[in-house]
Amino acid sequence: MTGAFGTLDVVFWGVLTFSILVVLHEMGHFLAARAFGVKVHEFMVGLPGPALRLRTKNMYWGVTAVPLGGYVRIAGMEPGAEDELLAPALAAVRDGRADGPASLAVALGIDADRAEALITTLVDWKAIEDLGDGTHRLTVDGETAGLDETGLLARARSVTYRGQKTWKRITILAMGVIMNLALAILTFTVFLSVWGYLEPTTTVAVVTPESAAESAGILEGDSLVAFDGQPVDSWEDFQSAVGASDAGEPVIVTVERDGARIDLPATLGDRDGRGYLGIGPESVAVRLNVFQSLGESFKLTGLVFEAIVDLFNPRTFSRSVQDVRGIVGISEMAADAAHAGPLDYAGLIAMLSLSLGVMNILPLPPLDGGKVALEIVERIAGKPLKRSITIGLSAAGAVVLFSLIGYVLYADIVRMAG
């Protein structure tokens, strides 16, 4: 029974944590869109599907049946070039010559599929409204009676994503990342300014029983001097040296004890496929001012970016992926942090928000960085990419992304089984 409750606890905190992260991310897109006057269809918590919706004056808000993550649907974000008949179609609806796909097909002399696509696009732009009985009416803002087809279309496009200048579209895309990074940097800066942090030293504070360190004769209070002949200037140096070694590898650990240097032979143990010695460092409290805290926050952002880039580098993938946790692992961490206290949970949210933001910077469709890259390519080309190309690139990027997610999830399961 305890196991069942434990699993439900992990699932609850996992769902809540991922929802918070994604909603914060989508809030960035939403705020940028509204700041530029772009219409938004809905802001939903959860995956697309059946939902409880609340209609306000301009959009829907709600929670879907699967409250994991969230999304914001912005008018006019469909890929590909626009149909050249959008202006005549919009004018036909305004002038009463068409109120749906069938009558539009007759009015413009086109087939039913193309008429349906035109109506769908104009509904997505919020230029026309589906009245629910198969008919539509014009909803373009302002007085439209005196506008020609071109002016009418320009008015309709002005409140869509596609109708914005390139820099505004890029800003809308980037604001999700900016929101995640800003939240993380602000949180870390406050934490470091108020509470500081504990910095590990090269003095040994813990020796794990029955570990390689205990067998080698390392004692609490020893100071690390060198690892297999390489000087150790910091705890990070020591961790990197041990992590780069293989399990079962014989090494020499040099320590300073009572003013004397001692070379201690050790055979490394195994932890997650890497070398493991089995010691913990003594830490000292470090206090920072606001500017120092901000600097450390940006430094941490750089380290996270470097770690995520290493996941896409074949030479560093096998090493980097061992430190990554997927949905299952993050859910466990979220549950542990939540039970440890609000500060621990807030710190985890900040770290995950930082990771999500940095991941989305990568120029890989369908991530925000990939979408920004496509916007830049379209700007250089002077025209939108073909819909088939955009969808193909997004599909290829999704395969790479979900392959990584699947591998990490598999690693989570193997770790738990072990």
Q: Which pLDDT value is given to residue 87?
A: 95
Element (H, E) at 138: strand 136-138
Q: What is the mean pLDDT of the chain?
A: 88
Q: Which pLDDT value is given to residue 418?
A: 58
Sheet holding 51-55, edge to edge: 51-55, 60-64, 40-45, 70-74
C-alpha angle 406-407-413 in degrees, rounded to nearest 5: 90
In a domain, 28, yes or no: no
Residue-wise pLDDT tens digits, 96-121:
999 999 999 999 999 999 999 999 99
Residue-wise pLDDT tens digits, 326-383:
778 888 889 999 998 888 899 899 999 998 888 888 888 888 999 999 999 989 988 8
- Distance in Å from the first CA to the final CA of the chain: 21
- Range 48-67 average pLDDT: 87
Per the CB < 8 A criterion, the answer to whether 206 and 279 are in contact is yes
Predicted confidence (pLDDT) at residue 2 exceeds the cutoff of 70? no
**Six-digit token string for 32:** 């940028």
The pLDDT-based confidence of 1 (bands split at 50, 70, 90) is very low
User: Tell me, what amino acid is at 368?
Assistant: D
Same-domain status, 313 and 185: yes
In a domain, 4, yes or no: no
Same-domain status, 293 and 345: yes
Same-domain status, 358 and 407: yes
In a domain, 62, yes or no: no
In a domain, 29, yes or no: no
Same-domain status, 331 and 410: yes
Same-domain status, 220 and 237: yes
**Six-digit token string for 328:** 């299952």
In a domain, 339, yes or no: yes
Same-domain status, 295 and 408: yes
Residue-wise pLDDT tens digits, 245-286:
888 899 999 999 999 999 999 999 888 777 889 999 999 988
- The CATH number linked to 150 is 1.10.10
Predicted confidence (pLDDT) at residue 34 exceeds the cutoff of 90? yes
* CA distance readout (Å), 177 to 24, 183, 295, 360, 369: 10, 10, 19, 6, 9
d(CA 34, CA 299): 32
Q: Which pLDDT value is given to residue 94?
A: 93
Same-domain status, 280 and 352: no
Same-domain status, 266 and 402: no
The domain total for the chain is 3
Which 8-state DSSP code applies to residue 83? Answer: P
In a domain, 22, yes or no: no
In a domain, 15, yes or no: no
d(CA 258, CA 256): 7
Rg (CA), the chain: 28
Q: Which residues contact 5 (CB under 8 A, 6 or more apart)?
A: none
Same-domain status, 101 and 220: no
What would you measure as the largest C-alpha separation in the chain, in angstroms?
96
As beta bridge partners, residue 62 has 44, 53
Using the Cα atoms of residue 177, residue 178, residue 183 and residue 185 in order, give the sign of their dihedral. Answer: positive
SS (H, E, C) 243-273: HCCCCCCEEEEEEEECCEEEEEEEECEEECC
Same-domain status, 316 and 180: yes
Q: Domain range spanning residue 133?
A: 86-161
Same-domain status, 224 and 305: no
Same-domain status, 181 and 328: yes
